[in-house]
Amino acid sequence: MPIGSQDMKLSIIIVSWNVKNDLLKCLSSLQKNQPFFSFEQIVVDNKSFDGTANIVKQEFPEVALIENQINKGFAKANNQGIRQSSGQYVLLLNPDTIVHPDSLDTLVGFLDNNPDVGACGPKLLNADGTTQASVRQFPTFRGALYSHTICRLIGLFRSQYRKDRMKDFSYDRQTDVDQIMGAAMMVRRSVIDEVGLMDENFFMYYEEIDLCYRIKKAGRRIVFLPDAVITHLGGRSSSQVPLKRVMMLKSLMAFFRNHRSKAAVGLFAVVFKAGVILRNICHLIIGLFILVIALASFNRKRRQKAAENIALHAILLSKYLWQIITM
């Protein structure tokens, strides 16, 4: 890995997959709101089939482009960009983002003035201008059980889930946090040298959480900065992934295996997998019940939604049941 250049302040790494239009808007926002220091832009294209690579070459020749021949996933592609970069700081930026004026200067200035901070992140906005939830505490067993298993249907561990998701967090003040969303995360290169690159065992989801965990474990602060603002449209690439729920569950289990004891994870896995399966069974039964009512009442919209939910949970319980059991 390059140790960084004295002349290059910031490296912006963007991993893209079939979101050409969003990527062009992102690069345009960077072009319009350039920071007052040296920076480089590196786009890693994960084998898009929408013409992303060609349009980037044509419209943004100043952008360094890495063209993968297969979709290598988010972690591995980001690592490719980081290895090729040379900036003192590295900004991991999603392609479905719009950078606001002065945001990059604010993030870099903060890292310049706070050498004990390993990473920082901006306030993220939704497309409609509302604030997007972008900080959380590190995952816990109880919070995960509420989020993904039958525990959610009965309300068990709801308070822990709210604590993990920081539901009462104020997005108007600068705060030290456990993790910031990987959609826009600026990391000090020296910290990456210390704790390592993203774990490439994560194809998608939880890779930035794993990195944040290692940064905190190394004694560095992670800070949320509301004065820096970036719009994040959200889910443009992940929405294309079939059964992303299974991928998310696998990544969650991988995070726990990386950072919790083998015995604790083994016990949790038994309860967790059973709870996931039971939740899907319950949703399937509920969906069938709702479908019957919708058919009887000639409610077309409700009937369509019920049919979609039934199909989703039926697939999870048939085609992907073994993946859930063995994750």
pLDDT tens for each residue of 19-71: 999 999 999 999 999 999 999 999 999 999 999 999 999 999 999 999 999 99
Q: How many domains does the chain have?
A: 2
For residue 315, name the pLDDT band (cuts at 50, 70, 90): confident
- The answer as to whether 52 is a domain residue is yes
Q: Is residue 178 part of a domain?
A: yes
pLDDT digits (tens, 9 = 90+) for 149-207: 999 999 999 999 999 999 999 999 999 999 999 999 999 999 999 999 999 999 989 99
Residue 39 lies in a domain: yes
CA 180 to chain centre: 9
- Residue 38, classified by CB atoms within 10 Å of its CB into exposed (0-12), middle (13-18) or buried (19+), is middle
Looking at the structure, do residues 88 and 177 belong to the same domain, yes or no?
yes
Residue 254 inside a domain? The answer is no
Residue 151 lies in a domain: no
Q: 298 and 231 in one domain?
A: no
Domain final position from 239, 273, 295? 239
Q: Do residues 184 and 318 share a domain?
A: no
Residue 64, Cβ density class (10 Å: 0-12 exposed, 13-18 middle, ≥19 buried): middle
- Torsion angle of C-alpha atoms 57, 61, 64, 67, degrees rounded to 10: 10
146 is a domain residue:
no
Whether residue 116 lies inside any domain: the answer is yes
Last residue of a domain, one of 239, 274, 290: 239
Neighbours of 234 (CB within 10 A): 17
Kindly state whether residues 129 and 269 are assigned to the same domain.
Answer: no
Residues 120 and 266 in one domain: no
Both 235 and 108 in a single domain? yes
Shared-domain flag, residues 107 and 216: yes
Residue 77 maps to a domain: yes
Query: Per residue in 196-249, pLDDT tens?
Result: 999 999 998 999 999 999 999 999 999 999 999 999 997 554 444 447 888 999
Range of the domain at 34: 10-134+171-239
Q: How far is CA 218 from the centre of its chain?
A: 22
Per-residue DSSP letter, 68: -
Q: Is 129 exposed, middle or buried (0-12, 13-18, 19+ CB in 10 A)?
A: exposed
- By three-state DSSP, how is residue 297 classified? helix
Specify whether 281 is located in the same domain as 188. no
Q: Which CATH number fits the domain that encloses residue 59?
A: 3.90.550.10
